[in-house]
Structure 1
Amino acid sequence: MPPTAHRRRYPSDTTAREWALIEPLLPLPACQTKAGGRPEKWHRRDIIDAIRYLVDNGVKWRALPADYPPWQTVYYHFAAWQRRGVIASLRDQLRRQIRTGQGRCPWPVTLIVDSQSVKGAETVSKATRGFDAGKKINGRKRHIAVDTLGLPVMITVTPASTTDRDAARELLWRLRLMQPQITQVWADFAYAGQLTSWSDDFLHMTLRTVSRPRGAKGFVVLPRRWKVERTLGWIMKARRNVRDYERLPQHSEAHLTWALITLMTRRLTRQGPHTEWAKKQNLTPESCTGTA
């Protein structure tokens, strides 16, 4: 089904250039595969516009405007794409395009990690929430790894009671499996201790910490760490991410990722077509060692 004629009804809707960028990165509809399937009733652009509207404005699923597809259809695609890894794949492909457009290797070797605790709504179950004693927050904690441009590489959501060190073990382990070219990770002092030696000995990944200057008061811009803190600020511009409303932590991760996907598509379309630099250089993850 073609997209509805009324384009750009809301500021969060995709532009023509954004949709031209996103459409080829999505998996083929079932009806176009060998296995076959029913044709999709609603155009995918309308589905993505509805998801972006919900993330940007923080409304309930049932409160989606009537000129979008039914909320049940939008939620089905949102959950299915998260479960099948489509959202993560879209995030990674857009990140590689931005890095390529700036003459960098598509696969980063240096990351920065940090966490953020947010309050959980009553819809967040007791089993998936906790109390962050340091921040005095009852809810969930977001753990994010970004490259040196502040672009997302991995996001995980845990109960707020989970310590940064415990969550980092799982995060770094997954990064080693999925991003084997990574050699160095920067973090704040909360990640110091046994985690540093564990990362070096078992993952062959150097974990370095950046501490606040002695005697510093109030807000201080810290080397390297400011990039991941800026990314957390980008996430909070989407109202759905100001508080955690999701029953499943995986859906919280998806909402965070969609906010950053919107940021990346707008950055790419604002800058114009991305360069073919990486293709000409025939780069692989192994060839990126030593570059950020």
Structure 2
Amino acid sequence: MTPRRSYPSDISDARWALIEPALTAWRQARLDRRPTGAPAPTDLRDIFNAILYLNRTGIAWAYLPHDFPPHGTVYTYYAAWRDQGIFAQLNYDLTGLARAKDGRDPTPTAAVIDTQTVKTSTNPPITTQGIDAGKKIVGRKRSVATDALGLLLAVTVCAASVSENKAGIQVLNQAKADHPTINLTWVDTGFKKQFADHAATLGIHAQVVHRDPDTRGFHVLQRRWVIERTFGWLMLHRRLARDYETLPASSEAMIHIAMIDNTSKRITNETTPTWRGTY
């Protein structure tokens, strides 16, 4: 069989070396539980490349190109990795490697938290959506915690009608559970006393970053720019330009996949191909 031509979203050998051990261990554990122990014929790298292609281009599952494995097979692996926390764990492992490469301790002690409201498609159930009264958007709210480099520490997705405080508390709880060393977080003025009080119960100091009232227009805010850049990284992945996912857990998984893509490139000194500078 002739090998297919590569897509720009395909994972490189160096990046696959970072990710393959976790996926191979996952499949081996499944095979060990089978009565026959027969090896699965599907190539895990092809499956992962198909997921990256979908995440980067924003297409529907049924529109995956035919030179990938069948879209039903790809989705089955994706759903299993989502439900068993494989994407989240991969992301956190890569974050530790990227921090170490940058000369930092792999375990973070500080986080930056913010939310992003996005419109939903017709796929998500009405019960998982809401109206963000401030932004006048019907959709879902992504609550994200990053480290000081902008690397993902935790993410939760809820209805857009959920308050900033409540959404922030949810992601703070997750960040603290996954990274117990966190003792400081920076947030914007949308987070009120309720958030700060809850953070204190977790042993975390919540520092609110205020805008300078004497400066008009755009200006860089201490630490806040880090998470805004992370949102920019996420929006390079068209699947995240709108929330197409039926389950909030899938929305979270798509964010983890985008950051796996980003962080693995950071570790291997690769860049994302774009149309800029080309004709």
Paired residues for 1:23-102 under 5 Å: 23-26=20-23, 27-30=25-28, 34-36=32-34, 37-102=37-102
Q: Does 1:130 align with 2:130?
A: yes
CA 8–257 in structure 1, closer or farther in 2 if over 3 Å, else same: farther
Q: Which runs of 5+ in 1 are unaligned?
A: 272-292
Q: Which residue of 2 aligns with 1:276?
A: none
SS at match of 1:124: coil
Q: Distance in 1 between matches of 2:215 and 2:246?
A: 39
SS at match of 2:233: helix
Q: Distance in 2 between matches of 1:270 and 1:12?
A: 15
Confirm or deny: 8 A CA contact 1:30 1:38 kept in the other structure: no
Confirm or deny: 8 A CA contact 1:186 1:210 kept in the other structure: yes
Q: Which residue of 1 aligns with 2:110?
A: 110
Q: Which residue of 2 aligns with 1:230?
A: 229
Residue 186 of structure 1 deviates from its aligned partner by 0.5
Q: Which residue of 1 aligns with 2:246?
A: 247
Residue 255 of structure 1 deviates from its aligned partner by 0.7
Confirm or deny: 8 A CA contact 2:108 2:182 kept in the other structure: yes
After TM superposition, the structure 1 stretch with the greater mean CA deviation from structure 2, 98-107 or 20-29, is: 20-29
Confirm or deny: 8 A CA contact 2:115 2:168 kept in the other structure: no
Figure out how many residues of one structure are paired with residues of the other and give that number. Answer: 267
Matched residue type, 1:245: Y
SS at match of 1:256: helix
Confirm or deny: 8 A CA contact 1:58 1:240 kept in the other structure: yes
Confirm or deny: 8 A CA contact 2:128 2:248 kept in the other structure: yes
Residue 147 of structure 1 deviates from its aligned partner by 0.3
Confirm or deny: 8 A CA contact 2:94 2:260 kept in the other structure: yes
Q: Percent identity?
A: 40
Confirm or deny: 8 A CA contact 1:31 1:39 kept in the other structure: no
Bigger RCO of structures 1 and 2 (CA < 8 A, at least 6 apart): 1
Residue deviations 1:162-219 (CA, integer Å, cap 9, x gap): 111011222222223222111001000111223212321x211111110111043332
Confirm or deny: 8 A CA contact 1:123 1:246 kept in the other structure: yes
Normalising to structure 1: TM-score of the pair?
0.87
Residue 103 of structure 1 deviates from its aligned partner by 1.7
Confirm or deny: 8 A CA contact 1:111 1:182 kept in the other structure: yes
Q: Distance in 2 between matches of 1:226 and 1:199?
A: 21
